[in-house]
Amino acid sequence: MNRNEAIELIRLRTGQDHVAGWDERIRLELEMAQTSLEWSAVLPWFLINVDDTLSVTAGTATLTLPTGFLRLGPQGGLYRHDDTRDDPWVGLQRDTYETLSARNLGSGTVAYYALLGNTVHLFPTPASTTGFRLIHFKSGGSLATNTATNPWLVHAPEVLLHEAAARIDPARTGLWLELAEKEKTRIGMHDDQRHFDAINPRIIPE
């Protein structure tokens, strides 16, 4: 389902198909509903991102988090590339920035990291150019254009539609939210996340 189809379906379901000028309002409510869903305590499997590969040169101790970063999953995290190993992705240990800074680790092979704002701080400071992979939950992205592929509309369109309809049709908010919850259960968001949590992400090939 694309964005315009989602807007049209919401107009029909909420009885607003005859009202002019509602498409932009509905689009904004779809984006607000998506933002709300992406702040949920449990995120769906289809927001897991394993494709972001990053690198720094020697002496550079920080990485900027990728666009759309939401948070790390229980088995997500930062992995350093080491081409001398059969399994080249080495999991790094996360700690607080204050704790790692106090250890005065100097420069060398990165073993630890801290998240502070939108920045990843690396410890020790890399002594050579180093590649990384960040496994994390990533936002479904903007609905500003009709051509964008949004994972919510691909994998869980009814969840997003019902959440947005609850904002557009306040007289039936309870109904729409109940339908959204039923759809979340049906698609197995929770089960799929638990399945991901049992996977060692380092087995994912380069």
What is the reported pLDDT for 126?
A: 97
Residue ranges in the chain whose pLDDT is less than 50: 198, 200-206
What is the reported pLDDT for 191?
A: 54
What is the reported pLDDT for 206?
A: 38
Rounded to an integer, what distance in angstroms lies between the CA atom of residue 29 and that of residue 121?
36
Residue type, 71: R
> Coil, strand, or helix at residue 171?
helix
Task: Provide the whole-model pTM.
Answer: 0.82
Intra-chain end-to-end CA distance of the chain, in Å: 31
* Residue whose C-alpha is closest to residue 13's, from 5, 3, 24: 5
Rounded to an integer, what distance in angstroms lies between the CA atom of residue 140 and that of residue 30?
12
Helix or strand (DSSP H, E) at 107: strand 107-108
Q: Where are the domains of the chain?
A: 3-38+141-197, 48-138
What is the reported pLDDT for 42?
A: 81
What is the reported pLDDT for 196?
A: 54
What is the reported pLDDT for 147?
A: 77
Are the CB atoms for 69 and 136 separated by under 8 Å? yes
What is the reported pLDDT for 41?
A: 81
